[in-house]
Structure formats: structure tokens, C-alpha cells
């Protein structure tokens, strides 16, 4: 019920954006036509209007899903709704301007200004009113759902409070069942919205015949579920939906969802991003940008390779085995920034490292003259674009570690291997090589726990000035 309603709400908000953006575009077009005193005449053919509308709708809805804007609608605070719409409008407007430039649509600047302003204002008004509107529709046209809870523990009471808070979604808590086979009479349980009766579980069959009960939610200890098999079967025979509150592992922060392997149900815990659609989009973006960057930067990369070869003996490209997604080994590429025998001399300089686990040596004596410059501006990392195209790495993600370092990780730090490694991540925005190891690891965990396509773009755009200015690199 809850996830289905959430998906329906996201779909409805996406459809509402389509309608409102179309209204905003038509309004902006007619306002622009009513201003004949501007320097240039402006009008759309039917084909042009359809093309611009299609681009605008695609940009608005895609940016909404991309930035997770629809996740907060209907329940979010006005400040959050305003902020999210501002970001969505910004992304969609940039996409429309880029499309105009690439397709040579020659759109009127006042039209674009009117369109952006109208779309923002109309959608903002709708979203501010949406929660009240959704509640009204549910009250007037939606059927109420009556729910009983099996259990009286602290977690059952917390669940009851959550159900009370969902009253505007048409949910009504009717009471509780106690599973004690010899229960003493229980007083009604008082919560914020009222008082709820407590029934022995043995009275379930009678209550199902006498009362309207749409769902029964079990919030009990895991070892009690087996003894309740008959109760599940009874609900199943009556056609009553049952749910189990799976909070047996309160310290597990993974996302949980149910899958099926043939006829076997599997309860899945995912401690890293597992949305196949969004991860596929991330991969498409990685390949597209990395491939384009390799083409555009190939002259620079040839110059760097020549400079490395001419200034010190040895190959231009340094190869090393690193740990990738879920610990997979791959060959990692970068321009050689150290002397040819740097790996053999590693033991000589380990005592100079600022970190115990991930070696980082300031003013490393093994660096070549050109290598210092390349590292300062991260130019030595450019060959990793090949790793991105191959699928070993991503543009954004935890930096790939060497196997010897991974072997020293604490258990909680190994979770960073559950995300494809990247060229940059949040550590690059907070001092790069100046960040201590534990802080670096915690930043990677924060990235994994909060990952979104929008966060990737934010990190990319904020990394560029850090690299150009050479901040925080050794």
C-alpha cells in the first residue's frame, strides 16, 4: 500500500509537470506574441512548437526524477519544495538552452525568460497546494483502509504512531492484537489521535467477520513469527492483506526489498545503490563523457606523454593493479609521475607517509619534475578515462585502492568497494590529499548512502575548479 501509493504519487507529479509546463510554454508564447515592439518578430510553426514542447517536457520531467524532486512532494516542507523546484527549473532551463544552441532553434530570449518564470510560478503554486489537494481527493474519492497491528512492544507502538501520521493517506488504525495465549485483560492503548482496543489473537476470526479490517501488520519478534503461521493462513483465506515489520536488525542501514527467484521469495538487503535504471544511466553518462573527453583531450595527452618520456627514462603510462567494484582487480592507468624505480624504492619512503593505510607522502623524493606539475593539476589521472570507458571505473566514486591497502581495511571500510571506483568523489571537494584516512573513508560512505545522479553532477562541477586551481594536491 505505502510503496504503491508513493510510486503513484511520483507518477502523478510527473504527469502534472507535463501539463503545467505545456501551459507555461503556451502562455509564454502568447505573451511574447503580444509584445510586437521588440526588435525581432517571433513565431512558431507547428513543427517548431512541438519540438520545443517535447524538449521542455523531457528536460523538466527527467531533471525531476534525476534530482529526486518527486520523492519529497506531498510530504515535504515548503522550503524543500521551493529549493527542489529551483534546482529542477535550473537544470531544465540549461538543457533547453543547450538544445536551442545545438539544434539552432533561434528562440526569442524574452520567450525563454517568460517560459522559465511561468513554469516556475505555476508549478510552485501547484506543489504548495498539492498536499492539501491529495488529502482532499483521498477523503472524497479514496476508500479508507482499516489496519490492525499484531504486537504490543515498543516497535509496534512506533509503527502505530506512523500509521496515525498517515491518516491523510486514508489509513485508519483500528486496534491491536496480543499474541499471549493466556492474556490478561488489556486496557486500551492511548496514542496521539485516540484510544485503541487490544484483542487476543484468538479473536481474529471473529473480528474479521464482525469488523472491517483491510490489513493486519505484524510487529513481533522474529522467533514469534513461526507460531503465527495459522494466523497468516486465516488472513489469507479471508483475503486480508498481511504485512510484517522487518525491523529485527535495527542497526542495519541497508535498503530492503522483496524479490523472487522462481517461486522462492527473497528478502534483500542492499547496503549500496541498487537501482538498476539509475546505475545504467550513470554508466551511459560515464561512457559518453569519458569518450568525448578522450577525443577532445587527445592532443594534450600526447603532449604529456611526450614530456614524460623526454624528461625521465621509462614508459609514459604507469600501470598498477587496483581493486574495483566488489573487489574485482583491474589494471589502472595514469601518466607516470615518479622515477622508473619508484615501486622498488617504496620501502625507503614509507616512514614519510601521513597515512598508515593509504600511503600519501608530501614532497615525495621519487617524483619527477614534470610529475610534480602533473599531480598538482591532476593531469596524471587523464588516462583513467580509458578505465571509465572500459567499465573498470566511473567518473564519480570512491578512489580505487591497491590490494595491499584493502587488506588493511577495517570491516566497515570495506563497504566502499560496493560502489564502482571513480576519478573524483566528495573527498576531492574537501582538501583532496590533505584529508586524513578515516575522514576520507567516512566521506566515501556518505557518498554511497546518499548517492544520486544529481549528486554526481554536483561533485563533477565542484571538482573542476579544485583541479584547475590545483587545490589540496600533493
| CATH top-level class of 145-249 | alpha beta
Per-residue pLDDT of 86-145, as tens digits, reads 989 999 999 888 888 888 877 878 888 999 999 999 999 988 877 665 555 555 445 678
Instruction: Determine the pLDDT at residue 155.
Output: 86
CA dist., res. 44 & res. 213, Å (int): 57
Output the nine-digit C-alpha cell for 164.
Answer: 496515525
Which residue, 4, 5, 127, is CA-closest to 69? 127
Output the nine-digit C-alpha cell for 304.
Answer: 604529456
The domain spans of the chain are 2-141, 145-249, 276-468
CA dist., res. 402 & res. 404, Å (int): 6
CA dist., res. 71 & res. 68, Å (int): 5
Residue 217: strand pairing partners: 149, 243
Instruction: Determine the pLDDT at residue 105.
Output: 79
Instruction: Determine the pLDDT at residue 135.
Output: 56
**pTM here?**
0.62
Instruction: Determine the pLDDT at residue 141.
Output: 45
Spell out, as residue ranges, where the chain has pLDDT lower than 70: 1-9, 36-42, 72-76, 131-143, 168-169, 181-185, 248-254, 261, 350, 352-359, 361, 431-433, 470-474
Output the nine-digit C-alpha cell for 294.
Answer: 578522450
**Cβ density class 427-449: b for 16+ within 10 Å, e for less:** bbbeebbebebeebbbbbbebbe
Output the nine-digit C-alpha cell for 158.
Answer: 512506533
CA dist., res. 217 & res. 170, Å (int): 16
Amino acid at each position: 500500500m505505502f510503496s504503491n501509493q508513493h510510486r503513484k504519487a511520483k507518477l502523478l507529479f510527473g504527469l502534472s509537470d507535463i501539463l503545467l509546463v505545456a501551459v507555461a510554454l503556451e502562455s509564454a508564447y502568447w505573451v511574447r506574441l503580444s509584445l510586437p515592439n521588440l526588435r525581432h518578430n517571433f513565431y512558431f510553426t507547428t513543427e517548431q512548437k512541438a519540438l520545443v514542447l517535447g524538449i521542455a517536457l523531457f528536460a523538466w520531467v527527467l531533471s525531476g526524477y534525476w534530482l529526486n524532486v518527486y520523492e519529497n512532494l506531498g510530504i515535504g516542507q515548503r522550503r524543500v519544495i521551493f529549493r527542489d523546484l529551483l534546482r529542477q527549473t535550473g537544470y531544465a532551463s540549461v538543457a533547453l538552452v543547450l538544445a536551442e544552441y545545438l539544434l539552432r532553434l533561434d528562440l526569442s530570449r524574452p520567450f525563454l525568460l517568460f517560459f522559465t518564470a511561468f513554469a516556475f510560478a505555476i508549478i510552485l503554486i501547484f506543489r504548495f497546494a498539492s498536499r492539501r489537494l491529495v488529502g482532499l481527493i483521498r477523503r472524497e474519492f479514496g476508500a479508507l483502509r482499516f489496519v490492525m497491528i499484531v504486537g504490543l512492544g515498543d516497535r509496534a507502538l512506533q509503527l502505530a504512531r506512523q500509521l496515525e501520521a498517515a491518516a491523510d493517506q486514508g489509513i485508519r488504525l483500528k486496534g491491536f492484537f496480543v499474541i499471549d495465549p493466556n492474556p490478561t485483560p488489556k486496557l486500551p492503548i492511548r496514542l496521539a489521535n485516540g484510544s485503541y482496543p487490544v484483542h487476543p489473537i484468538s479473536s481474529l476470526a471473529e473480528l474479521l467477520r464482525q469488523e472491517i479490517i483491510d490489513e493486519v501488520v505484524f510487529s513481533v519478534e522474529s522467533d514469534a513469527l513461526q507460531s503465527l503461521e495459522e494466523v497468516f493462513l486465516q488472513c489469507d483465506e479471508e483475503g486480508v492483506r498481511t504485512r510484517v515489520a522487518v525491523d529485527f536488525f535495527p542497526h542495519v542501514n541497508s535498503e530492503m526489498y522483496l524479490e523472487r527467484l522462481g517461486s522462492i521469495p527473497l528478502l534483500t538487503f542492499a547496503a549500496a545503490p541498487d537501482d538498476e535504471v539509475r546505475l545504467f544511466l550513470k554508466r551511459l553518462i560515464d561512457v559518453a563523457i569519458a569518450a568525448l573527453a578522450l577525443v577532445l583531450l587527445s592532443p594534450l595527452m600526447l603532449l604529456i606523454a611526450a614530456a614524460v618520456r623526454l624528461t625521465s627514462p621509462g614508459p609514459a603510462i604507469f600501470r598498477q593493479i587496483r581493486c574495483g567494484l566488489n573487489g574485482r582487480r583491474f589494471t589502472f592507468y595514469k601518466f607516470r609521475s615518479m622515477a622508473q624505480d619508484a615501486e622498488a624504492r617504496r620501502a625507503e619512503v614509507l616512514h614519510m607517509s601521513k597515512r598508515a593505510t593509504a600511503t600519501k607522502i608530501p614532497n615525495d623524493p621519487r617524483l619527477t619534475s614534470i610529475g610534480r606539475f602533473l599531480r598538482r593539476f591532476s593531469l596524471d589521472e587523464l588516462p583513467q578515462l580509458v578505465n571509465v570507458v572500459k567499465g573498470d571505473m566511473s567518473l564519480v566514486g570512491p578512489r580505487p585502492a591497491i590490494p595491499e591497502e584493502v587488506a588493511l581495511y577495517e570491516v566497515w571500510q570495506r563497504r566502499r568497494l560496493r560502489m564502482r571506483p571513480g576519478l573524483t568523489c566528495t573527498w576531492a571537494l574537501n582538501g583532496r590529499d590533505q584529508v586524513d584516512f578515516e575522514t576520507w573513508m567516512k566521506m566515501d560512505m556518505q557518498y554511497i548512502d546518499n548517492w544520486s545522479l544529481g549528486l554526481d553532477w554536483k561533485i563533477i562541477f565542484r571538482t573542476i575548479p579544485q583541479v584547475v586551481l590545483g587545490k589540496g594536491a600533493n
